[in-house]
Amino acid sequence: MSARAATLPAASGYRVYAALKSPILAKAFIARYYPTTVTGRISSNSIVPSEIRQHGDQVIFREKPTSEIFPYQKNQDLEVSQLNTASSIMTIDRAYYYNLKLDKVDEKQIPDVRQWVNDFIEDAREKLAQVTDLAMQSELPHQADCRNKGPNAGARTGAFNLGTVGAPVTVNKDNLPDILGRLKAVLTEQNIGEGGFYVILPSTAKVLFWANPILANACASGNSKSIILTNGETIPDILGFDIIFSNTTPIYTDPVTGEMTFTLLAGRKDATGFVLQLNDTEVIDKDPRSFSKYWRGLTLWGFKLLLPKEVAVLYATFQFDTTA
């Protein structure tokens, strides 16, 4: 039987003692960093009945009835209205899992095995959160009111260009305040109450804030104090928007222009319902087929844009080079 190859080659004639050695493992692991997820900042579970967290796979929401107003002439026969409603169904139909298998011999012999397992589970949880983020940011734009997106957005005026396939809006350091103003105007035309607004931007859009002399001063957000944004972290509310920077925002290639584009959401948090119905983890150490141990987890969840009028969509490309 040939000797196991040494990590460091030995000169000819020198015996290799690899079988008598074992590697020295650093106690610290190489760090892994994750994007900040945004699901909790753009959705709410308080608008979903608590019963769905216990059982069932669908929630039916009923809209408030709409009324009719009629003109009146003296002594006329009166028109009548009837109660009406529309329904929206949210389905809990998304499930993801992780499942780690480890033989008991390896569990016994691998140094720091508990830390390895814990880091595996932490990585799985982070990736589950990213899957949720990607699904919401990919699908919610399709559920938004058609009057809140496109080149003629605005329920009353149709006066605001929020971009469309083949003609994305170009966002740069100079027009970013104008773009945020368009989004706010589109939402305002839907008669949405003030407060609780958010807007998602790609993380690299931070450079546009530092380069814009208006946005670089927190006075532009209506704050009484002048705060120059130089630390790269704190962004005040701008035009009433909670600014959310995300590295999980889907990136597309426009089929006409070939440009890198983003489909970005702006609206109210309570417009979107989210339910995490199951978040189960367990350890299995009795497998009749092998001497193995399992660490596994299962999540079951669903979401729905319940108030399409309260979310606007920007289809844009960005000029991140602030020297242009």
pLDDT value at position 257? 96
User: Which of 177, 185, 217 lies closest to 201 in space, CA to CA?
Assistant: 177
Q: What CATH number has the domain bearing residue 232?
A: 3.90.1690
Which pLDDT value is given to residue 168? 97
- Domain annotation covers residue 217: yes
If one counts every other C-beta atom within 10 angstroms of the C-beta of residue 182, the result is 22
pTM: 0.78
Specify if 84 maps to a domain. Answer: yes
- The confidence score (pLDDT) of residue 212 equals 79
The Cα 262–Cα 24 span in angstroms is 46
What length is written for the chain?
A: 324
Q: How high is the pLDDT of residue 202?
A: 93
CA dihedral 123, 128, 134, 140 (to 10 degrees): -160
Quote the pLDDT of residue 230: 41
pLDDT of residue 162: 97
Does residue 279 belong to any structural domain of this protein?
yes
Please tell me the predicted confidence (pLDDT) of residue 227: 39
Residues of the chain with pLDDT under 50: 1, 6-7, 10-11, 13-15, 17, 19-21, 24-26, 218-222, 224-232
Q: Count of domains in the chain?
A: 1
> 175: which 2 tokens?
């027009």
Domain that includes residue 238, residue range: 29-324
Residue with tokens 């699908």: 139
- The answer to whether position 19 is within a domain reads no
The per-residue pLDDT for 211 is: 83
| The pLDDT of residue 224 | 35
Question: Rounded to whole angstroms, how far apart are CA atoms 241 and 197?
Answer: 5
Q: Is residue 135 part of a domain?
A: yes
